[in-house]
């Protein structure tokens, strides 16, 4: 039993001036009451006074130790005051008491004897008692006692902390960022260091791109005081039910780790309830609407990225093989040689999943697991363009990338709304909700929505086609080149892109110089966006995160292969900055290509079909100028990111 186990800072008052013994006793009893040591303050005070009536508890040397064993005491405890002016306590040596301790002892056991003995052993040290009398703060008072006790009973020190300390980690944390390469780990390291500095055991789970590492076990969670979630994407929170959880952005984990840990240790974090869907967790950190939007979007983009990269490279390999074989550069280019055909098909299959995955993970981020179905199906419908009139999508226009974004967000929100409405259903139906009601309603919602949206895209598409035709007929070729280039890069596979591309390939059939000029402008417009972004990540490094820079290199291959989709992850993440820049760059390239009288006879293939290009060097020059214009404009629109808060 250490004195410091019984005496708390709150139980100490420095520099009191009691006028009498009774006042001093009242002060000490009051401190016990404040510390919550007593069941019955009056009864305990009674006990103290009865003991004093039998003889003073002043022990000389300006020290008094009033004490009582009482039923009114919850657990053994100490309080203390210093009275620099002294108080008459009837001491045997006639000296006033300046240092007073009050012992509250339970009626069972010898604690009271042991505490008394321990205190006497310490208080025999005149040096210590003088220092205690002159202590300036309760903290100083307590640390003086702690130091003296540690010096006197060194053996206890090692044993003592192990016993009363709670086991396991006090604070847990989960860090995650959309790309899962840098910030996740920077935040984890910052939190771990802060925990070490504050002397608080902390365990940090990293939800990076390679999956979750250092995963929190149910035991960790059960034993901890609270959990910090520093994440810019959704993390699994259902497991934290009933624990205090503080949710914030990953940048706070990097910049304010100590503040976050203190929020948990000070009990400022609200207790998390998992029954209202995991999504609620990401809302409690009072996030703005824009931030939630970004988080949902990035959840989709980060899951889509691997499909884009792998599929795009496979398709580029197919073109490379066919080019090496010297096959005719027509509509079949890239799938003539069997090996090329295999690569092109496999890459194409991966590409087919792009929009469903994008929309699916956006919707899942919004509406939790039931959202996956609506998003994936919605993304698929955006890609194939089904309508009410043409459900098999035999002859329709896909709404593409923009349609998939719409599917992910709108269907996700509608489903979430539907889930809220379902709260009113009888409890008996609870089990049916996730397996039947949500999927059924979700599919209905998204199917109706996308079949309604796709025809609108189709109309848009037709209007654009006739507009382009009109331009071509009126000899406004350069303008047409600019517009085609811009259209290719605005929605990257959506209606504008499709309209321009279909127009371009349709013109090929006419087999005139002009028609080949159209195709050249179309392809160059699709090649600029990935190249502009790739150049930006190389020459304007401070605009991008490490992860974005890494993927930038891949975009060179994508751009040269006429795989516009490489730019989608960037366009989705920063649409208002990337899309205008790419569109302007592509428009410049498309216009220049027309001006230079470049022609193209192949419908796709990028740099690999250069042999079919008329004036190939000028074509490459136009491409380079377009990409550089796009890069420069991006540099203007997208400001340098702050060193670490990159993903904000």
Partner 1 sequence: MVQKHFTIKNAQGFHMRPATNFATAMAGYPCAVTIKYNGRDVNAKSPMFIMAACIKVGSEIDVVCDGEGENEALAAAAEMIESGFGE
Residue 124 binding partner 1, by CB under 8 A: yes
CB of 114 to partner 1, least distance (A): 6
The residue (of 115 and 373) whose beta carbon lies closer to partner 1 is: 115
The residue (of 78 and 488) whose beta carbon lies closer to partner 1 is: 78
Q: Which of 121, 143, 465, 597 binds partner 1 (CB under 8 A)?
A: 121
CB of 112 to partner 1, least distance (A): 7
Q: What angle in degrees, to the nearest 10, is found between the helix axes of 41-53 and 21-34?
A: 150
The residue (of 110 and 648) whose beta carbon lies closer to partner 1 is: 110
Q: Which two tokens stand for residue 136?
A: 């300036």
Residue 648 binding partner 1, by CB under 8 A: no
Question: Rounded to whole angstroms, how far apart are CA atoms 176 and 204?
Answer: 11
Residue 65 binding partner 1, by CB under 8 A: yes
Q: Which of 19, 120, 452, 463 binds partner 1 (CB under 8 A)?
A: 120
The residue (of 54 and 394) whose beta carbon lies closer to partner 1 is: 54
The residue range among 58-66, 130-138, 203-211, 357-365 that interacts with partner 1, by the rule CB under 8 A, is: 58-66
By CB under 8 A, the residues from 210 to 249 that bind partner 1 are none
Q: What angle in degrees, to the nearest 10, is found between the helix axes of 438-473 and 477-490?
A: 170
Task: Indicate if 177 belongs to the active site.
Answer: yes
CB of 120 to partner 1, least distance (A): 4
CB of 126 to partner 1, least distance (A): 11
By CB under 8 A, the residues from 28 to 57 that bind partner 1 are 54-55, 57
Question: Rounded to whole angstroms, how far apart are CA atoms 362 and 232?
Answer: 13
Helices within 176-288 (DSSP H only): 183-198, 218-223, 250-255, 257-265, 279-284
Is 223:167 a contact under the CB 8 Å cutoff?
yes
The conformation of residue 562, written as its DSSP 8-state character, comes to T
Residue 151 binding partner 1, by CB under 8 A: no
User: How many CA atoms within 13 Å lie on the side-chain side of 229?
Assistant: 29
Q: Report the Cα 400 to chain-centroid distance in Å.
A: 28
The residue (of 59 and 579) whose beta carbon lies closer to partner 1 is: 59
The residue range among 60-68, 314-322, 414-422, 563-571 that interacts with partner 1, by the rule CB under 8 A, is: 60-68
The residue (of 91 and 365) whose beta carbon lies closer to partner 1 is: 91
Angle at 104 between CA 103 and CA 106, to 5 degrees: 130
β-partners of residue 68 are 104
Active-site entry in 32, 67, 112, 303: 67
Residue 75 binding partner 1, by CB under 8 A: no
Is 573:297 a contact under the CB 8 Å cutoff?
yes
Residue 444 binding partner 1, by CB under 8 A: no
CB of 113 to partner 1, least distance (A): 6
Q: What is the chain's alpha carbon radius of gyration, rounded to the nearest angstrom?
A: 37
Question: Rounded to whole angstroms, how far apart are CA atoms 406 and 416?
Answer: 15
β-partners of residue 245 are 227
Residue 116 binding partner 1, by CB under 8 A: yes
Residue 431 binding partner 1, by CB under 8 A: no
Q: Report the Cα 451 to chain-centroid distance in Å.
A: 34
Strands 599-600 and 67-69: what pairing?
A: unpaired
211-213 sheet: strands from edge to edge: 211-213, 202-208, 171-176, 226-231, 245-248
**Phi and psi based region of residue 641 (left: phi greater than 0; alpha: psi -120 to 50; beta: remaining):** beta
Residue 546 binding partner 1, by CB under 8 A: no
Distances (CA, A) of 308 to 314, 346, 559, 563, 574: 10, 12, 13, 9, 17
The residue (of 57 and 551) whose beta carbon lies closer to partner 1 is: 57
Element (H, E) at 436: none
CB of 51 to partner 1, least distance (A): 8
The residue (of 110 and 259) whose beta carbon lies closer to partner 1 is: 110
Contact mark string toward partner 1, 85..114, x via CB under 8 A:
-------x-----------------x-xxx
Task: Indicate if 67 belongs to the active site.
Answer: yes
Residue 60 binding partner 1, by CB under 8 A: yes
Residue 25 binding partner 1, by CB under 8 A: no
Question: Rounded to whole angstroms, how far apart are CA atoms 260 and 531?
Answer: 41
The residue (of 107 and 512) whose beta carbon lies closer to partner 1 is: 107
Active-site entry in 177, 482, 582, 598: 177
Question: Rounded to whole angstroms, how far apart are CA atoms 556 and 546?
Answer: 17
Q: Which of 12, 31, 83, 123 binds partner 1 (CB under 8 A)?
A: 123
Q: What is the contact surface with partner 1 in residues (CB under 8 A)?
A: 54-55, 57, 59-61, 65, 67, 92, 110, 112-114, 116-118, 120-121, 123-124
List active site positions.
67, 177
């Amino acid at each position: 039993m250490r004195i410091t186990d019984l005496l708390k800072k709150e139980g100490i008052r420095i520099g009191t001036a009691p006028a009498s013994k009774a006042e001093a006793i009242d002060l000490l009893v009051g401190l016990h009451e404040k510390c919550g040591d007593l069941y019955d303050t009056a009864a305990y005070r009674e006990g103290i006074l009865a003991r004093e009536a039998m003889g003073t508890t002043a022990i000389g040397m300006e020290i008094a130790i009033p004490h009582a064993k009482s039923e009114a005491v919850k657990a053994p405890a100490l309080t203390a005051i210093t009275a620099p002016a002294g108080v008459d306590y009837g001491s045997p040596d006639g000296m006033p008491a300046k240092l007073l301790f009050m012992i509250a002892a339970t009626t069972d056991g010898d604690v009271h004897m042991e505490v008394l003995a321990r205190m006497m052993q310490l208080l025999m040290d005149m040096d210590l008692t003088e220092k205690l009398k002159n202590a300036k703060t309760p903290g100083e008072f307590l640390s003086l006692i702690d130091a003296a006790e540690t010096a006197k009973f060194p053996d206890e020190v090692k044993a003592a902390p192990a016993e009363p300390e709670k086991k396991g980690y006090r604070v847990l944390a989960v860090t995650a960022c959309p790309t899962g390469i840098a910030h996740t780990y920077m935040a984890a390291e910052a939190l771990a260091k802060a925990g070490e500095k504050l002397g608080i055991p902390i365990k940090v789970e990293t939800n990076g791109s390679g999956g979750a590492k250092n995963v929190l076990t149910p035991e960790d969670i059960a034993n901890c005081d609270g959990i910090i979630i520093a994440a810019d994407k959704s993390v699994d929170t259902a497991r934290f039910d009933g624990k205090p959880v503080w949710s914030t952005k990953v940048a706070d984990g990097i910049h304010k780790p100590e503040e976050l840990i203190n929020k948990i240790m000070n009990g400022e974090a609200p207790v998390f309830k998992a029954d209202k869907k995991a999504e609620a967790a990401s809302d409690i950190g009072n996030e703005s609407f824009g931030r939630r939007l970004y988080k949902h979007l990035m959840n989709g983009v980060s899951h889509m990225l691997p499909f884009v990269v792998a599929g795009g490279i496979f398709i580029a390999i197919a073109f490379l093989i066919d080019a090496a074989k010297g096959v005719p550069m027509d509509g079949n280019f890239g799938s003539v040689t069997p090996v090329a055909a295999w690569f092109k098909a496999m890459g194409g299959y991966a590409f087919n999943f792009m929009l469903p995955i994008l929309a699916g993970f956006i919707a899942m981020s919004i509406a939790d697991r039931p959202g996956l179905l609506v998003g994936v199906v919605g993304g698929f419908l955006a890609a194939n363009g089904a309508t009410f009139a043409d459900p098999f999508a035999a002859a329709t226009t896909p709404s593409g990338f923009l349609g998939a974004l719409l599917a992910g967000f709108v269907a996700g929100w509608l489903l979430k709304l539907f889930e809220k409405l379902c709260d009113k259903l009888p409890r008996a139906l609870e089990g049916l909700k996730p397996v039947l009601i949500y999927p059924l309603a979700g599919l209905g919602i998204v199917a109706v929505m996308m079949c309604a949206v796709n025809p609108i895209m189709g109309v848009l598409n037709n209007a654009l086609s006739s507009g382009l035709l009109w331009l071509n007929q009126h000899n406004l070729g350069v303008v047409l080149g600019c517009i085609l280039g811009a259209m290719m890069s605005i929605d990257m596979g959506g209606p504008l892109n499709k309209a321009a591309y279909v127009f371009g390939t349709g013109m090929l059939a006419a087999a005139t110089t002009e028609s080949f000029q159209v195709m050249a402008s179309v392809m160059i417009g699709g090649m600029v966006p990935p190249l502009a972004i790739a150049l930006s990540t190389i020459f304007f490094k401070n605009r991008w995160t490490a992860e974005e820079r890494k993927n930038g290199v891949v975009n060179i291959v994508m751009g040269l292969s006429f795989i516009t989709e490489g730019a989608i992850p960037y366009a989705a993440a920063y649409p208002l900055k990337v899309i205008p820049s790419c569109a302007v760059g592509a428009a410049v390239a498309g216009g220049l290509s027309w001006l230079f009288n470049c022609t193209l006879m192949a419908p796709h293939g990028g740099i690999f079909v250069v042999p079919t290009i008329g004036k190939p060097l000028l074509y490459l020059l136009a491409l380079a100028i377009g990409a550089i214009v796009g890069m420069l404009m991006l540099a203007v629109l997208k400001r340098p990111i702050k060193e670490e808060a990159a993903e904000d």
